[in-house]
């Protein structure tokens, strides 16, 4: 490897909320679902699974202050 070529800094992204469907075991991310398949209720996302349509709750990740 050429010593002049340096790797870019790796930035760790915040963990997004994801939930595993109890029906088909696929993972669903609320930010990837259309508004018709999700709704925010108090501190949880109510999600309809994109694959099988099962409804379940995904807790919102808590933001940790540094």
User: What are the pLDDT digits (tens) for 8-46?
Assistant: 666 666 666 788 999 999 988 888 888 889 898 888 889
Query: Model pTM?
Result: 0.62
Query: Mean pLDDT, to the nearest integer, of 47-59?
Result: 90
Kindly report the three-state secondary structure assignment for every residue of 42-62. CCEEEEECCCCCCEEEEECCC
pLDDT for 48 beyond 90: yes
Q: What local confidence, expressed as pLDDT, does residue 31 receive?
A: 84
Contact 56, 49 (CB under 8 A): yes
Residue 51: pLDDT over 60:
yes
Domain boundaries, the chain: 19-59
- Break the chain down into helix, strand, coil percent, rounded to 5: 10, 25, 65
Nearest Cα residue to 46 out of 62, 28, 25: 28
CA distance 30 to 23: 17
Question: Could you tell me the pLDDT band of residue 55, with boundaries at 50, 70 and 90?
Answer: very high
């Amino acid at each position: 490897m050429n010593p002049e070529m340096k790797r870019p800094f790796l930035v760790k992204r915040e963990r997004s909320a994801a939930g595993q469907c109890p029906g088909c075991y696929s993972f669903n991310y609320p930010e990837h679902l259309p508004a018709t398949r999700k709704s925010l209720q108090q501190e949880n996302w109510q999600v309809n699974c994109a694959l099988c349509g099962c409804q379940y709750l995904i807790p919102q990740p808590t933001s940790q202050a540094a």
